[in-house]
Amino acid sequence: MSEQIGYAKPPASTRFTKGSSGNPKGRPKNRHKSVPYDAVLGQMVTIREDGRERRVTAAEAFLLQLTQKGLAGDSAAARDSLDAIENARSERGDDRMGIDTIIVSAISSGADAILGSLGLAKKKYPEDQQRVRWEMNPWIVEAALDRLGERRLTINEQREVRSATRTPHKVAWPEWWEVGE
């Protein structure tokens, strides 16, 4: 009996053998696993510095923001910023500086240096120079009011304290307190 050859019946010698793929190289595995960092970080974005706008790559904007946070006292952001700079330098083979370790210590003065790090207050609108301000956490307001002892705040002082409190409804106001919502 002769083998039939024709439509949908290729010769046995050219048929796929059992267990082997018809496309041995096939689609590469994990071809979509890597994140397209170059495409994303290479995009141009507009940033505003000191009221002026300029165009930079997303990578540069990201590094500028990390550096700014690091200089403002955020030690995690400072470490990340330095790591990113070090990685970029090592990828380029740029070892001109010959520095093994860089220690950055942000020096700021006044209350801003400690309010956030001690959990006393939270900065509201940190990116908006016109509206940026600190709001005190309820527990520190309560502690400060307890320290007053017999002394009472004026109505204006009470309004000011209440407006500077982050979540005034969570504060256990003293019985003499007059300013409400």
Per-residue pLDDT of the chain (181 residues; tens, 9 = 90+): 577 888 988 888 887 777 776 677 777 777 776 666 667 777 888 888 777 888 888 878 887 787 777 777 777 777 777 777 777 767 766 555 444 444 444 445 455 666 777 777 888 887 777 887 888 888 888 988 888 888 899 999 989 889 889 889 999 999 899 988 6
| Angle between helix 75-92 and helix 58-71 axes, rounded to 10 deg | 140
Q: Tell me what pLDDT residue 179 has.
A: 87
The pLDDT assigned to 99 comes to 45
pLDDT at position 102 is 44
Count of beta carbons in the 10 Å neighbourhood of residue 142 = 16
Which residues on adjacent β-strands are paired with residue 124? 133
Q: How far is CA 73 from the centre of its chain?
A: 14
Can you say whether the dihedral through the CA atoms of 26, 30, 34, 35 is positive or negative? positive
Distance CA 172, CA 143 (A): 10
Burial (0-12, 13-18, 19+ Cβ within 10 Å), 78: buried
What pLDDT is stored for residue 95 in this prediction? 52
The structural domains of the chain, with segments of one domain joined by +, span 36-107, 108-181
Q: What pLDDT is attached to residue 103?
A: 47
164 burial via Cβ count (<10 Å: 0-12, 13-18, 19+): middle
Task: Specify the pLDDT at position 173.
Answer: 92
Q: E strands within the chain?
A: 44-49, 52-57, 121-124, 133-136
